[in-house]
Amino acid sequence: MPDIKVTPLGAGQDVGRSCILVSIGGKNIMLDCGMHMGYNDDRRFPDFSYITQNGRLTEFLDCVIISHFHLDHCGALPYMSEMVGYDGPIYMTHPTKAICPILLEDFRKITVDKKGETNFFTSQMIKDCMKKVVPLNLHQTVQVDEELEIKAYYAGHVLGAAMVQIKVGSESVVYTGDYNMTPDRHLGAAWIDKCRPDLLISESTYATTIRDSKRCRERDFLKKVHETVERGGKVLIPVFALGRAQELCILLETFWERMNLKAPIYFSTGLTEKANHYYKLFITWTNQKIRKTFVQRNMFEFKHIKAFDRSYADNPGPMVVFATPGMLHAGQSLLIFKKWAGNEKNMVIMPGYCVQGTVGHKILNGQKKLEMEGRATVIIGTLDVKLQVEYMSFSAHADAKGIMQLIRMAEPRNMLLVHGEAKKMEFLKDKIEQEFSISCYMPANGETTSIVTNPSVPVDISLNLLKREMALGGPLPDAKRPRTMHGTLIMKDNSLRLVSPEQALKELGLSEHQLRFTCRVQLHDPHSDNDTLGRIYTHLKSVLKTYSIQHVPDGTVIVESIVIKVTSSAEEPNLKVILLSWSYQDEELGSFLSTLLKKGLPS
């Protein structure tokens, strides 16, 4: 039985370190290659020794596909390709290819330069890794090799985020990466056609959430920011440089404009301008409205939002600061957080999901005292958290409703959940199985799920045979009375051809062997032979309504291709011997008729 095997090396019942191995039709594909923000040790990267204990991965993988530029989806890529060793193709969309190396370099800098870790990938490795990248365009069918093809769909999670369909023969898998089913201020909604994959692998970050309307969330967010600023407090919004940051900037920019507010808004990191430039150059990946108006007004040129300098954090008075990274696990956002945490007038708004182990996750769970780590994870003190902590879900993930919507769009035969918490997955799994009556799986990391597929077999049918059948059955074979078609399948040099039996015999230089039966049925019927035949004709006509039955003047009745004759001897004219003759192709009908006639004719 052909099957599809899926093994998450990361993101199995967990968020972070996305890395999913898929085996389909003899091909092995790695979906995403991310890092885990919650760990600083070996667990940070997927365990590639699962694939092979020693040596390089190249011969074990046919391709690697990266869904988007977030580090939990691509952070382990240079480690995998340059340190473990992989030289095959790595597929990602153009924007991902552009932005991914910048974030990787950022990640490297924080880890090596700031935290002082060694044995980490180098800048050169990032460059070498990116040389292996093959850019993907939306909807383009990329032929990885003769059998394996992949196709990207718009995912709407961040700039360049893609879902990807993997296809070998008639078997297929769709991997969603992270996606968003509702269009926002700068991105469109995820979309896929009714591709009916054997398996849909979906993220499930918000498996149990059904988020209130976006407008309410935005109003809440603006209200909180506004109130804090009004009372002279500072607002910290930890974000990733690209993605939600642009969305929230557009939101605040328009609000500041409308309310004529004066408090400064800053964006940390030098990435900002560069980041916005990417958005301008990849405007085709944003939503309809921005694309339509970009010639007149580019949405990514902000009037109120200025670059942040480290010294501003100590300035008196209100301000709003967007700072990276988004989960408060390192870098500038964490620095500012430490400075402002002690003042209850201030506020931190977490606009996205935080993985376990990060400061963001801890404060969201109400932790009021934090142990602070210095270089090399030495604990150097505790921090009292007095500022207000708010959580506003602005990450562009599909919620439960969105996930169900995608299932309805793609109509998968099986479902597999990753990138979520086990408990929440459980809930969604039940819901999916109930509503769609399809199997839903949620393997843990290192656990393999096998899905049996039932592929149909494509065969070349000779046009003669097909046309003959179509002609017999009219333009469309009648569904009520399906016609049985007889043909011979020739398997030769990996080709499968279905031809008429005569053609097969001719082609193979064989002669057909006819198997024929003639059955004698004895019957008492006080009529002439011809009348008996007539009565048989009428009887069969009434029983076999949909069959072709002919009464031929030479004294035979023909049902389809079965010949029926009536004879009798001169001595016993009333004892009729009915001769039924059929070939093996009509075995069922012949057998049925002989049994039927044995029961006699209705008087």
Find the binding residues for other proteins in span 294-323 (CB under 8 A): 294-295
457 lies in the site for other proteins, by CB under 8 A: yes
* Contact assessment for residue 34 and residue 485, using Cβ atoms and an 8 Å cutoff: no
Q: Least Å distance between CB 111 and other proteins? A: 23
* Residues 349 to 388 in contact with other proteins, rule: CB under 8 A: none
Q: State the Cα–Cα distance between residues 364 and 350, nearest whole angstrom.
A: 8
504 lies in the site for other proteins, by CB under 8 A: yes
Considering beta carbons, is residue 339 or 565 the nearer one to other proteins?
Answer: 565
Considering beta carbons, is residue 16 or 243 the nearer one to other proteins?
Answer: 243
Q: Can you tell me which of 219, 223, 277, 310 binds other proteins, judged by CB under 8 A?
A: 277
Q: State the Cα–Cα distance between residues 150 and 164, nearest whole angstrom.
A: 7
Q: Which residue of the set 203, 218, 247, 390 is catalytic?
A: 203
488 lies in the site for other proteins, by CB under 8 A: yes
289 lies in the site for other proteins, by CB under 8 A: no
* Residues 550 to 589 in contact with other proteins, rule: CB under 8 A: 584-585, 587-589
* x/- letters, 160..179, toward other proteins (CB under 8 A): ----------x---------
Q: State the Cα–Cα distance between residues 522 and 3, nearest whole angstrom.
A: 56
194 lies in the site for other proteins, by CB under 8 A: no
Q: Least Å distance between CB 239 and other proteins? A: 19
Question: Residue 457 CB: number of other CB atoms within 10 A?
Answer: 8
Q: Can you tell me which of 39, 50, 436, 592 binds other proteins, judged by CB under 8 A?
A: 592
With residue 535 as reference, give the H or E element that holds it.
helix 529-543
- Per DSSP, 443 falls in state P
The Cα diameter of the chain in Å comes to: 128
- Per DSSP, 111 falls in state I
Residues in the chain: 603
User: Strand 234-238 to strand 347-350: parallel, antiparallel, or no bridges (unpaired)?
Assistant: parallel
- The span of 78-86, 184-192, 280-288, 305-313 binding other proteins (CB under 8 A) equals 280-288
Q: Least Å distance between CB 378 and other proteins? A: 39
Q: Can you tell me which of 194, 258, 262, 545 binds other proteins, judged by CB under 8 A?
A: 545
Residue 94: phi, psi to the nearest 5? -55, -50
Strand partners, 372: 381
Q: Can you tell me which of 521, 533, 549, 557 binds other proteins, judged by CB under 8 A?
A: 521
Q: Least Å distance between CB 307 and other proteins? A: 17
Q: State the Cα–Cα distance between residues 7 and 30, nearest whole angstrom.
A: 10
Q: Least Å distance between CB 299 and other proteins? A: 13
Q: State the Cα–Cα distance between residues 235 and 448, nearest whole angstrom.
A: 45
Q: Least Å distance between CB 279 and other proteins? A: 9
482 lies in the site for other proteins, by CB under 8 A: yes
Q: Least Å distance between CB 214 and other proteins? A: 26
DSSP-derived secondary structure for 113-162: IIT---S---HHHHHHHHHTEEEE-BT-EEESSSSEEEEEEE--SSTT-E
Q: Can you tell me which of 485, 527, 556, 565 binds other proteins, judged by CB under 8 A?
A: 485
Q: Least Å distance between CB 504 and other proteins? A: 7
With residue 77 as reference, give the H or E element that holds it.
helix 77-78
Q: Least Å distance between CB 142 and other proteins? A: 7
- The span of 37-45, 139-147, 184-192, 238-246 binding other proteins (CB under 8 A) equals 139-147
473 lies in the site for other proteins, by CB under 8 A: yes
Q: Can you tell me which of 49, 140, 365, 528 binds other proteins, judged by CB under 8 A?
A: 140
- Quick one: angle between helices 214-230 and 244-259, nearest 10? 60
User: Strand 234-238 to strand 319-323: parallel, antiparallel, or no bridges (unpaired)?
Assistant: parallel
508 lies in the site for other proteins, by CB under 8 A: yes
How many chain residues interact with other proteins (CB under 8 A)? 88
Considering beta carbons, is residue 83 or 589 the nearer one to other proteins?
Answer: 589
* Contact assessment for residue 308 and residue 336, using Cβ atoms and an 8 Å cutoff: no
Geometric angle at alpha carbon 14, from 11 and 17, rounded to 5°? 40
Looking at 174-269, list the stretches that DSSP marks H as alpha helix, in order from N- to C-terminal side: 214-230, 244-259
Q: State the Cα–Cα distance between residues 166 and 26, nearest whole angstrom.
A: 13
* Contact assessment for residue 74 and residue 34, using Cβ atoms and an 8 Å cutoff: yes
Q: Can you tell me which of 469, 535, 538, 556 binds other proteins, judged by CB under 8 A?
A: 469
Check if 469 is active-site: no
* Residues 78 to 107 in contact with other proteins, rule: CB under 8 A: 94, 97-98, 101
Q: Can you tell me which of 68, 234, 361, 497 binds other proteins, judged by CB under 8 A?
A: 497
293 lies in the site for other proteins, by CB under 8 A: no
- The span of 32-40, 140-148, 375-383, 531-539 binding other proteins (CB under 8 A) equals 140-148
Q: Helix or strand or coil: residue 18? A: coil
* Residues 17 to 56 in contact with other proteins, rule: CB under 8 A: none
State how far the alpha carbon of 514 is from the alpha carbons of 484, 485, 582, 584, in Å: 19, 17, 10, 8
520 lies in the site for other proteins, by CB under 8 A: yes
Q: State the Cα–Cα distance between residues 597 and 603, nearest whole angstrom.
A: 13
Q: Can you tell me which of 5, 109, 114, 139 binds other proteins, judged by CB under 8 A?
A: 139
- Tell me whether the omega of the peptide bond preceding residue 318 falls within 30 degrees of 0, making it cis: no
- Catalytic residue IDs: 203
